[in-house]
Amino acid sequence: MTMSSSNGITTSAVVGTVFAGFASFLIITNMSRMLGRAKTSYYYGKKSIQLRTRDGRETSLADLCKSILPPCQLNPFLFNGHLQTIWSILKSKSSPIYYKRWLFEQQDPAYPGTFAVDFVVKPYEPKDTILPRTTNYTKNEFDNIGSDDSKPMLVCLHGLSGGSYELYLRSVLAPLVTEEGGWEACVINSRGCAKSKITTPILFNARSTWDLRQTVKWLRETFPNRPLYGVGFSLGANILTNYLGEEGANCQFKAAVALSNPWSLDVSNAGLQSTWFKRNIYSRAMGTNLKKLYGYHKDVVLKNSAIDDQEVKNVRFLHEFDRAIQCPTWGYPTEQAYYRDASSTDSVLAIRIPFLAISAQDDPIVCDFAIPRQEFLQTPYGVLCTTSLGGHLGWFKPAGGRWMADATNAFFQKMAREVDQEHYSKNHPLPEGEIVMAKREPLRPWFDPMRRKMHAEA
């Protein structure tokens, strides 16, 4: 027997209609996936900052981003985050970018050591290469590197244990550094990465902003007329976001982009350990890469007596490496304490330049729950774009290339070529909380997004 409502519609009919609608939704959703059509969603504050173009028109940062980012049409054969991510590893075609390297000595006594910066240069016949198409500057070459030109310059931060050679990074750089693109660029290699040597036991970590800070200061002095921009990939995106928050209104970048940022590292770590596949494919691979990196620099790292060589040898997964290396290096009691302290979610609220973040919801390395949608709703300076497909630093298109490169380059070219940066820098308002702090009003609570727990003393 079936129950009937007052208008003559039976319960079974209602259930059947709901089921049919849900089935249609699943079919449409799966068809979209199979066709590579990714849904894009945007998150930004109600009072998104106003930008003025050089022809006198005004637009909000949010409207600008939504108008220039292309539709996200991806390769239909790479129809989920795992395939997009794994293809990023397997794909072998490389963008022919040439670098010359210089080793900088960190000036901050709290973080001593050297770090390598690779500068994009015109093609040359490489000799004595460090990496493919990468050699060292001679002292004479580097002493004469300065310029008073006004070309826009991009500062890049790669992902975990990577370097300037990474294909995802080159895909973003390639169209910018051509003669038509008109940009200059450099890549800051995390300490010990990309075949760079370390001179102290200090490796990189997820909030190691000090080498970036010194590089930006040096660039500002060496190229006084170049507008500077920043882009970070994965862990590099987390470091960049933290740096932008630390610098606040004093930031020297005109705009920045974060791609596949892990954001809340404790949440993303929990996601990596939530399934056998993620734990044994992704976390194990990252742990193995970091253990290899440790092996290259073992003699120097072990000058820190707090590090146990046997414990590092037993590392299998990413979080175990962080427990064995990051905790004793930086004084964290557990890797979870390190993750909470180094996360960049709160840093979003302290950024005071135009900031675009792009994340994929099916990223198998960055948990979707870690993406800080609510934080972007509370800041006028940032726009978060999420895509339903894309994986981790994937976003491969049907005919080759990566959508993230198209989106990133569209944003940077718009900001560099059409937005009046001087008008923006002189006229953007302080948020209410900063006005309160400037007035030093007593007994009014306020939130400091950059209050960190780790303190380094010289």
Cα-to-chain-centroid distance, residue 285: 20
Q: What is the pLDDT of residues 237-251, one digit of tens each?
A: 999 999 999 999 999
Q: Select from 198, 190, 189, 177 the least CA-distant residue to 412.
A: 177
Task: Name residues whose C-beta falls within 8 Å of residue 425's C-beta, 6 or more positions apart in sequence.
Answer: none
d(CA 291, CA 317): 9
Q: What is the pLDDT of residues 360-378, one digit of tens each?
A: 999 999 999 999 999 999 9
Q: What is the pLDDT of residues 133-184, one digit of tens each?
A: 999 999 999 999 999 999 999 999 999 999 999 999 999 999 999 999 999 9
Query: What's the pLDDT score for residue 441?
Result: 57
Query: What's the pLDDT score for residue 24?
Result: 42
Active-site residue among 211, 266, 346, 363?
363
The answer to whether 88 and 170 are in contact (CB under 8 A) is: no
The answer to whether 156 and 236 are in contact (CB under 8 A) is: yes
Looking at the DSSP assignment, which residues form a beta bridge with residue 116? 103, 189
d(CA 198, CA 60): 44
Q: Counting Cβ atoms within 10 Å, is residue 32 exposed (0-12), middle (13-18) or buried (19+)? A: middle
Residue 95's pLDDT band (cuts 50, 70, 90): confident
Residues 74-94, mean pLDDT to the nearest whole number: 87
When the pLDDT of each residue in the chain is averaged and rounded to a whole number, the result is 89
Question: CA gyration radius for the chain?
Answer: 24
Question: What is the DSSP pairing of strand 253-259 with strand 184-189?
Answer: unpaired
Between 278 and 449, where is the model more confident? 278
d(CA 333, CA 339): 11
Annotation marks residue 392 as catalytic: yes
Q: What is the pLDDT of residues 188-235, one digit of tens each?
A: 999 999 999 999 999 899 999 999 999 999 999 999 999 999 999 999
Give the pair of three-digit tokens for residue 34.
Answer: 């199979």
**Other beta carbons less than 10 A from residue 374's beta carbon:** 10
List phi, psi (to 5°) of 250: -90, 5
Per-residue HEC secondary structure of 293-350 comes to HHHHCHHHHCCCCCCCHHHHHCCCCHHHHHHHHHHHHHCCCCHHHHHHHHCCCHHHHH
Between 18 and 175, where is the model more confident? 175
- Pick the range with the lowest mean pLDDT from 21-25, 230-234, 331-335, 443-447: 21-25
Active-site residue among 82, 158, 319, 392?
392
d(CA 208, CA 190): 9
Domain layout of the chain by residue ranges: 40-49+63-264+343-416
- Pick the range with the lowest mean pLDDT from 9-23, 193-207, 404-418, 421-435: 9-23
Query: What's the pLDDT score for residue 90?
Result: 77
Q: Is the predicted pLDDT of residue 456 greater than 80, yes or no?
A: no
Query: What's the pLDDT score for residue 447?
Result: 79
**How much of the chain exceeds pLDDT 70, in percent?**
86
Residue 10's pLDDT band (cuts 50, 70, 90): very low
Residue 14's pLDDT band (cuts 50, 70, 90): very low
Q: Is the predicted pLDDT of residue 421 greater than 90, yes or no?
A: no
Fold classification of 40-49+63-264+343-416 is Rossmann fold (3.40.50)
Active-site residue among 234, 343, 359, 388?
234
Annotation marks residue 363 as catalytic: yes
d(CA 229, CA 246): 16
Q: What is the pLDDT of residues 27-47, one digit of tens each?
A: 444 545 557 899 999 999 999
Give me the helices (H) in 128-209, please. 139-143, 167-176
Q: What angle do CA 99, 406, 258 make, to 5 degrees?
A: 75
Q: Select from 434, 15, 107, 31 the least CA-distant residue to 250.
A: 434
d(CA 50, CA 29): 36
Question: What is the DSSP pairing of strand 153-157 with strand 98-105?
Answer: unpaired
Q: What is the pLDDT of residues 336-364, one digit of tens each?
A: 999 999 999 999 999 999 999 999 999 99
pTM here is: 0.90
Any idea what DSSP says for residue 279?
A: I
**How much of the chain exceeds pLDDT 90, in percent?**
80
Annotation marks residue 455 as catalytic: no
